[in-house]
Amino acid sequence: MQIDADLDGGNILVVNARRRGVAELALRDDSAAPMRQWFHFLVRAPRHERLELRIVNAGSSTFPDGWPDYRALASYDLDNWFRVPTELERGSLVIHCRPEREELYLGYFGAYPSARHEALLERADRSDRAEVVSMGESVEGRSLDLVVVGNDGPGKRRVWIIARQHPGETMSEWFVEGALSRLLDEDDPVARALLGEAVFYIVPNMNPDGSALGNFRTNAAGRDINREWLSPRPGTSPEVLAVRRMLEETDVDFFLDVHGDETAPCSFAIGCEGNPSYSHRLARLEKLFTESMADSDEGFSAEYGYGPDDPGKGDLSIANNWVGERFECLSLTLELPFKDGGDPQGGTPDRAVELGSSAMECVLESLGDLR
Ligand SMILES: [Zn+2]
């Protein structure tokens, strides 16, 4: 068996692969920070051979609580992903599979490589409804891409959606793919209604360096950029600076920051209740949107969460808190699960795409109340 992690977004170290059908592997730290959880690699083996892939340092990962009841994702083509039997054995995560083809990709979640990101931008660029703008560059000089859908104008609401501040939380870019596909569909009445009242500013990948490097949580400077919003710096968090500058330029009425959660059994949202300027108006808007999401998707819970921040104690270095405070608008972190919630068909990239698509109906329901 051959293990290849030299992929866009690849992450795994081979400890020992000498025994037939068995490989001992290890999660590799982020490129400049001691965090590890994400894995993505390619296995080459004779067809129908039973394989046992043992990630021996899973127990000492950044979020070890993420492993119980977790099943790894696999794909032959990087498009269609499915769950494979996985168990936790004395600190090792053991993945079992019997590939029908000679090459099988494995991932903590379905990978979203640069090639797919570029294809998504090209689709947007071909549409009369959208344009792609480069807002600046990451630490390593990769483009920070913004997709603008619709036209700004008097009375128009500005809806911002950002994804992959944490690069290993790839479900967030799958979510964006679902949202964007819907907005670009000229036959879709929901998209037509949305673009009549709003313009969308969408950042499919806020951390292109971390994504390419196979990092789980940080950028090329080793920063968790979702803790940099209060005082971003050109050398270490240019990604946040670029997006903040554009937010100031466009204004914002609704901000959605999409993430992945390691332990949750469902999708859920986090609001701004700890912000100094939090109000009954914002509490009502949060409730309306999250209840609408729960009604439209059975995998979304309006009740699940980390528990509310104490009043005035919200961390303003986190994107949704900073934006909510600065623009006094509805501003949420949306979390999608890494786990499948007990459904072996659940928690796939396809489900994240569906959630992104159905979320557009919930945004439409909220639009009239935003200001
Ligand atoms: Zn995250």
Ranges of each domain in the chain: 2-107, 114-367
* Residue 335 designated active-site: yes
Fold of 2-107: Immunoglobulin-like (2.60.40)
Query: What phi and psi, each to the nearest 5 degrees, are found at residue 309?
Result: -65, 150
pLDDT at 331: 98
**How many whole angstroms from 181 Cα to the centroid of ligand 1?**
23
pLDDT at 90: 95
Report in angstroms the alpha-carbon separations of 368 from 85, 157, 182, 302, 355: 46, 9, 20, 21, 22
- Which has the closest alpha carbon to 143: 238, 246, 8, 9? 238
Place domain 114-367 in its CATH homologous superfamily.
Zn peptidases (3.40.630.10)
Beta strands in 167-288 (DSSP E): 198-203, 254-261, 268-270
Query: What phi and psi, each to the nearest 5 degrees, are found at residue 239?
Result: -60, -45
Residue 38 CA, chain-centre distance (Å), reads 13
pLDDT at 348: 95
Task: Retrieve residue 328's tokens.
Answer: 């006094």
Point out the catalytic residue in the list 273, 286, 335, 361. Answer: 335
**How many whole angstroms from 261 Cα to the centroid of ligand 1?**
7
Bridge partners of residue 334, in order along the sequence = 258, 269
- Which has the closest alpha carbon to 96: 158, 144, 27, 50? 50
CA distance 107 to 278: 39
CA distance 328 to 321: 10
**How many whole angstroms from 15 Cα to the centroid of ligand 1?**
28
Query: What phi and psi, each to the nearest 5 degrees, are found at residue 126?
Result: -75, -20
pLDDT at 47: 97
Beta strands in the chain (DSSP E): 2-4, 13-16, 22-26, 40-44, 51-55, 73-75, 82-83, 86-89, 92-97, 103-107, 130-137, 143-149, 157-163, 198-203, 254-261, 268-270, 330-337
**How many whole angstroms from 124 Cα to the centroid of ligand 1?**
25
The β-bridge relationship of strands 157-163 and 254-261 is parallel
CB burial string 333-361: b at 16+ within 10 A, e below: bbbbbbbbeeeeebbbbbbbbbbbbbbbb
Residues with CB under 5 A from ligand 1 (ion): 166, 169, 259
> Block means of pLDDT (10 residues each) for the chain, length 371 residues?
97 96 98 98 98 98 97 98 96 98 98 98 98 98 98 96 98 98 98 98 98 98 98 98 98 98 96 97 98 96 91 95 98 97 86 97 97 90
pLDDT at 346: 79
Which residues make Cβ contacts (< 8 Å) with residue 35, sequence separation at least 6? Answer: 29, 62, 215, 216, 217, 218
Can you tell me whether residue 342 is helix, strand or coil?
coil
